[in-house]
């Protein structure tokens, strides 16, 4: 079967995401996207890009590195990230990264602790909230549980679970939905659809056309796409071969050992007859030895790719940094 050649870059790659949202010449794209996403928070007139890395307060502290880090004309901080794969402590990671621009605002001497707002926006290429399969747009603030009111307005987390967004072109009703459609389907399109004939979308299709890139940009994109594909292939292999195999082999030994959380998403059921419906839904009893072998196999694959730090691999696998360094 003839395979259609890719015409536009994949915005889920590092290159594509930063080309769309992280360059001065395309800052109007980021403003348009954020104003659609944050329309209830007030319109953004101007944005200034900040250094993507916030240094720790001491040598012992961990640095925070963002995909996109910027500030509005109101001095509000906005972090925008593309997340390709589920991490065990994904929510913790979000809170940790949001804390960086908070403590960076601290001032020496007399200071009244008046903080500027911080927004963390995560575009997710995975599902982390399985309870509602249709709810893809989560907006989170600190809340008073008893009174059901927002306790603190200046800290906001927004999660876009892109696999849940399944509207067709004909079903798109808003500018925001059109944005999501483009982010999800751009790499598979061959032309700008008639329903997306707006100035801002025309610009996206213009800058995303691979044939019009410079040789340097093409090389950078190919390298970024390779890392993206390597990551997805590694995680897919880990799911299909590693984790399931570990569950099957460890079934007899770990049947009475309790519950084990799935590494990528959800839980798995795998008891008497080798059922391994894991990673998406269900529960699993035991198999600790198989799980340990599993995590090591995944960590070795991720380490061999050379694109992730030991700390990132630790978050993805649940192993310790020291264990990963000895592999």
| Averaged pLDDT, 11-24 | 95
Give a three-class secondary structure readout of 72-92: ECCCCEEEEEEECCCCCCHHH
Same domain, 208 and 244: no
What is the rounded CA–CA span in Å between residue 262 and residue 126?
Answer: 14
Same domain, 188 and 294: no
Same domain, 161 and 66: yes
Same domain, 187 and 275: no
Tell me the longest C-alpha to C-alpha distance in the chain.
70
Residue 8 lies in a domain: no
Residue 265 lies in a domain: yes
Give the model's pLDDT for residue 315. Answer: 72
Residue 162 lies in a domain: yes
Q: How far is CA 45 from CA 28, 32, 72, 121, 159, in A?
A: 10, 10, 7, 18, 23
Q: Could you please report the per-residue DSSP string of 85-136? A: S--TTHHHHHHHHHHHHHHTT--SSS----PPPEEEEEEESS----S-TT--
Same domain, 207 and 299: no
CA dihedral for 281, 283, 284, 286, sign (positive or negative) = positive
Report the alpha-carbon angle 41-43-46, nearest 5: 125
- Residue 259 phi, psi dihedral angles, 5° rounding: -105, 145
> Does the pLDDT of residue 255 top 50, yes or no?
no
Give the model's pLDDT for residue 306. Answer: 67
Q: How confident is the model at residue 130 (pLDDT cuts 50, 70, 90)?
A: confident
Residue 6 lies in a domain: no
Same domain, 209 and 222: no
Q: Could you please report the per-residue DSSP string of 293-317? A: HHHHHHHHHHHHHT-S-HHHHHHHH
% residues pLDDT > 90 (the chain): 53
Residue 4 lies in a domain: no
The continuous run of DSSP H or E covering 33 comes out as helix 27-37
Same domain, 276 and 308: yes
| Averaged pLDDT, 139-152 | 95
Cα 36 to the chain's mean position, in Å? 19
Mean of the per-residue pLDDT values for the chain?
Answer: 81
How many domains, the chain? 2
Domain finish residue from 156, 187, 214: 214
Residue 7 lies in a domain: no
pLDDT in tens, 61-105: 455 568 899 999 999 999 999 998 888 888 998 999 899 999 889
CB 68 within 8 A of CB 26: no
Same domain, 155 and 94: yes
Same domain, 315 and 301: yes
Residue 175 neighbours by CB distance under 10 Å? 15
Same domain, 291 and 191: no
**Domain span at residue 139?**
14-214
Same domain, 208 and 288: no
């Amino acid at each position: 079967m003839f395979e259609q050649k890719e015409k536009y870059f994949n915005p889920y790659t590092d290159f594509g995401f930063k080309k769309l949202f992280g360059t001065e010449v395309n800052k109007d794209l980021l403003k348009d996207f954020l104003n659609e996403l944050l329309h209830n928070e007030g319109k953004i007139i101007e944005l200034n890009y900040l250094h993507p890395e916030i240094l720790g307060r001491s040598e012992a502290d961990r640095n925070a590195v963002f995909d996109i880090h910027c500030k509005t004309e109101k001095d509000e901080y906005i972090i925008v990230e593309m997340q390709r794969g589920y991490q065990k402590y994904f929510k913790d990671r979000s809170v940790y990264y949001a804390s960086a621009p908070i403590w960076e605002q601290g001032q020496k001497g007399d200071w009244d602790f008046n903080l500027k707002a911080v927004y963390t926006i995560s575009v997710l290429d995975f599902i982390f909230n399985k309870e509602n399969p249709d709810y893809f747009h989560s907006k989170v603030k600190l809340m008073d549980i008893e009174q059901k009111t927002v306790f603190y307005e200046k800290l906001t987390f927004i999660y876009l679970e892109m696999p849940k967004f399944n509207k067709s072109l004909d079903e798109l009703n808003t500018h925001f939905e059109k944005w999501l459609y483009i982010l999800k389907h751009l790499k598979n399109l061959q032309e700008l659809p008639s329903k997306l004939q707006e100035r801002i979308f025309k610009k996206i299709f213009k800058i995303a056309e691979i044939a019009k890139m410079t040789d340097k940009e093409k090389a950078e994109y190919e390298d970024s796409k390779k890392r993206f594909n390597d990551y997805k292939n590694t995680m897919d292999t880990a799911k299909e071969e590693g984790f399931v195999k570990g569950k099957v082999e460890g079934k007899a030994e770990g049947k009475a050992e309790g519950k084990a959380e799935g590494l990528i998403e959800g839980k798995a059921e795998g008891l008497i007859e080798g059922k391994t419906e894991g990673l998406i839904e269900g529960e699993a009893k035991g198999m600790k030895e198989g799980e340990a072998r599993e995590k090591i196999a995944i960590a070795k694959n991720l380490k061999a790719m050379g694109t992730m730090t030991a700390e990132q691999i630790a978050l993805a696998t649940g192993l310790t940094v020291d264990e990963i360094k000895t592999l």
